[in-house]
Structure 1
Amino acid sequence: MNARRPRAGLKGWGGVGAMAVACVLALVFALVLTRTGAPADDAAGTAGRPVTHAAPARADEECADPEKQTLTPSRADGDAIEAIKNRRGEKRKLVVGVDQNSYRWGYRDPNSGESGRLEGFDIDLVHRIAEDILGDPDAVQFKAIPTDQRIPAIQDGRVDMVVRTMTINCARLEDVAFSAPYFRTGQQVLAPKSSPVQGYDGTLANREICTATGSTAHAKLEEDKRAGRLPESADIRTTVPNQLDCLVRLQLGEVDAVVTDGALAASQAAQDPTVRLKGEAFTTEYYGVAMKKDADDLVRRVNQVLVEFRADTEEGWQASYDRWLSATLGGDPSKSEPPEPVYARRN
């Protein structure tokens, strides 16, 4: 990546403030988070011309409707759930990989009055799952997981599951199992308000774009670059471990645009009034809870929790949306509601 001078008149977190934020995030990220504060154990292109888009790259061309490739709900315990319940003492917790930097999804609120407290839509869901399995919504050991470590953390047994704005897609289904969808979103472009970038189109020519390593956004950019659906001069080499790092680079003037899930981008725009979403979402994606491929009983149990979470009119999906996301995504949640679940996975 070529070095650039920071943009003049940068506001929001820019300049020295953004550098400080980046340093703080790097330091905090090194800490392993738990709900109780105990250490985590080791187990766990012509300008302005719209671009046409195809579906994201698939590991298996026969894979279709990945959001439907999950198991029917059940309350029955199996090996995976029994292993969680059999943990003793302070280790009797659900170990969950989360984000700590995504505003209103999984983040540490310095004004919450509780040191180290994680809050957000994803965090609400984690507490709901923990309450169902262990009878205590606070029986959670949180682990901060970078975007590109979500799947390895599950496969290595460092976490029981990942609840971290993780898109269900065919490539990931090769490595992990997913719950039914719990949120709908799509990829969008985030750029400074003054930028000539208008969206995912020819205005990205000669622009440097930031994405998170291992994200669906980066996979989409690579695919469209190969297929000629993205301007050849668009530079997509800048990747970062955590998506929020892209916002910091944007504020420092080191990149021209960010591509990420619209739900996350809206929260980032709320953090910095000098940036905004450009254009409409150009994909449709669904977030799911990721688990080990052979943890069938855990997948079924999470799906049961999601059924009840959606049906709960007082403290369920809608209440969590109103609490955390309505300020950034709007009071009408219809565009974010997941589809009616289809349980097409047979084994």
Structure 2
Amino acid sequence: MITRHLRARLKGWGGVGAMATACALALVFALVLTCAGAPTGAAQQPAGQSVSHAARAQADEDCADPEKQTLPPSTADGPTIEAIKNREGEKRKLIVGVDQNSYRWGYRDPNSGEGGTLEGFDIDLVHRIAEDILGDRDAVQFKAIPTDQRIPAIQAGRVDMVVRTMTINCDRLEDVAFSAPYFKTGQQVLAPKSSPVEGYDETLADQEICTATGSTAYTKLEADKKAGKLPESTDIRTTVPNQLDCLVRLQLGEVDAVVTDGALAASQAAQDPTVQLKGEAFTAEYYGVAMKKDADDLVRRVNRILVDFREDTTDGWQDAYTKWLSATLGADASRSEPPPPEYLREG
């Protein structure tokens, strides 16, 4: 503990001050968004927690290749899309849950004016979806959604979809529908450069790890801890509503390491030169657009849009990767490219 607090003091204003400022600004933005209403209602228990562990385990056994459990593409309108198109006046917008704190994915550029323009890879994809459905790339109402509120926001109808670095997995398929994958990543460890942690291995013994509540990172850590694949002394109890909060805790010396998607961790390392990725990715995961389970027409339309997004050589997936992610993930996008889509879900 003494070492941890000493590390926090040594970091000084370089990382902590900047991040504290960013977090304060994010809080202000969340309260005064003009085009991005903040989530309403009291915090809810993450969806699916009422389901027994036994039921979840059986669901996982019955689910193979979750990234393929989606519907074939279609351009046809259905009841969900018609309801979106029938919104009147200023309400005729696509309502999308996003992040506003993930650098280069969904974040506010502090140099882009008073409100800060919301931008990033996920934001580009949202604009493309809005343009296809409503004919206007700016016909979007962004809602800032914490990590642990992504599924509840969809189920409660507060958003039409969530585009927020959300991994497709069997557990979540019980609660929401997903598009085909639009990005490939994997869990990695983020820790101070001076840390003895070397990766997802025995060097995590006696270390306190931070993850986001409801994240696939925590699910993996919990499963591996029970299976004896993590050192018994590894402390995984620290969870936070938003993944960025883990970086702040790491900078303050309150935790020793963070486990999250490598794509997000790379962006966080770019924000703070005192931390770095440790070891290689130890899972393979795929981001998808999440929607209500019965929104079949919207799922099919998004899948059609993703086909076009991947094939577009002038303003598509590769262009968005180069613009937003090449600086943190490298110029070679091959490791991040989504697999060829397969549509195994029966409508």
Residues 220/31 of structure 1: CA separation in 2 closer, same or farther (3 Å cut):
farther
The equivalences for 1:82-161 within 5 A come to 82-113=82-113, 115-161=115-161
- Contact kept? 2:69, 2:344, Cα under 8 Å: yes
AA aligned to 1:89 is G
Q: CA deviation at 1:226?
A: 0.6
Aligned match of 2:61: 61
- Contact kept? 1:70, 1:179, Cα under 8 Å: yes
Aligned match of 1:34: 35
Residues 330/205 of structure 1: CA separation in 2 closer, same or farther (3 Å cut):
same
Q: Do structure 1's residue 287 and structure 2's residue 282 form an aligned pair?
A: no
Q: CA deviation at 1:34?
A: 1.5
Runs of 5+ in structure 2 lacking a partner?
A: 42-55
Identity %: 76
What whole-Å deviation, never above 9, does each CA across 1:7-46 have from its counterpart, x for those lacking one? 14215644455444444433433445526xxx57969xxx
- Contact kept? 1:58, 1:170, Cα under 8 Å: no
1: distance between equivalents of 2:252 and 2:76? 51
- Contact kept? 2:147, 2:212, Cα under 8 Å: yes
Q: Name which of structure 1's ranges 108-117 and 161-170 shifts more when overlaid on structure 2.
A: 108-117
2: distance between equivalents of 1:2 and 1:163? 40
After superposition, the CA RMSD in angstroms is: 2.2
Aligned match of 1:10: 11
The equivalences for 1:71-82 within 5 A come to 71-82=71-82
Secondary structure at the counterpart of residue 206 of structure 2: coil
Aligned match of 1:215: 215
AA aligned to 2:102 is S
1: distance between equivalents of 2:339 and 2:297? 23
Aligned match of 2:234: 234
2: distance between equivalents of 1:87 and 1:267? 36
What whole-Å deviation, never above 9, does each CA across 1:195-233 have from its counterpart, x for those lacking one? 010000000000010000010001111111111101110
What whole-Å deviation, never above 9, does each CA across 1:142-193 have from its counterpart, x for those lacking one? 0000000000000000000000000000000000000000000000000000
Secondary structure at the counterpart of residue 286 of structure 2: strand
- Contact kept? 2:39, 2:145, Cα under 8 Å: no
Secondary structure at the counterpart of residue 96 of structure 1: strand
Secondary structure at the counterpart of residue 260 of structure 2: strand
Aligned match of 2:269: 269
Secondary structure at the counterpart of residue 61 of structure 1: helix
Residues 15/320 of structure 1: CA separation in 2 closer, same or farther (3 Å cut):
closer
Secondary structure at the counterpart of residue 211 of structure 1: strand
- Contact kept? 1:68, 1:180, Cα under 8 Å: yes
- Contact kept? 2:29, 2:115, Cα under 8 Å: no
Aligned pairs, how many?
A: 332
- Contact kept? 1:33, 1:143, Cα under 8 Å: no
What whole-Å deviation, never above 9, does each CA across 1:103-156 have from its counterpart, x for those lacking one? 000000011246231000000000000000000000000000000000000000
Secondary structure at the counterpart of residue 126 of structure 2: helix
Aligned match of 1:47: none
- Please state which structure has a larger fraction of its residues in helix: 2
Q: CA deviation at 1:3?
A: 11
Residues 2/97 of structure 1: CA separation in 2 closer, same or farther (3 Å cut):
farther
Q: CA deviation at 1:300?
A: 0.1
Secondary structure at the counterpart of residue 223 of structure 2: helix
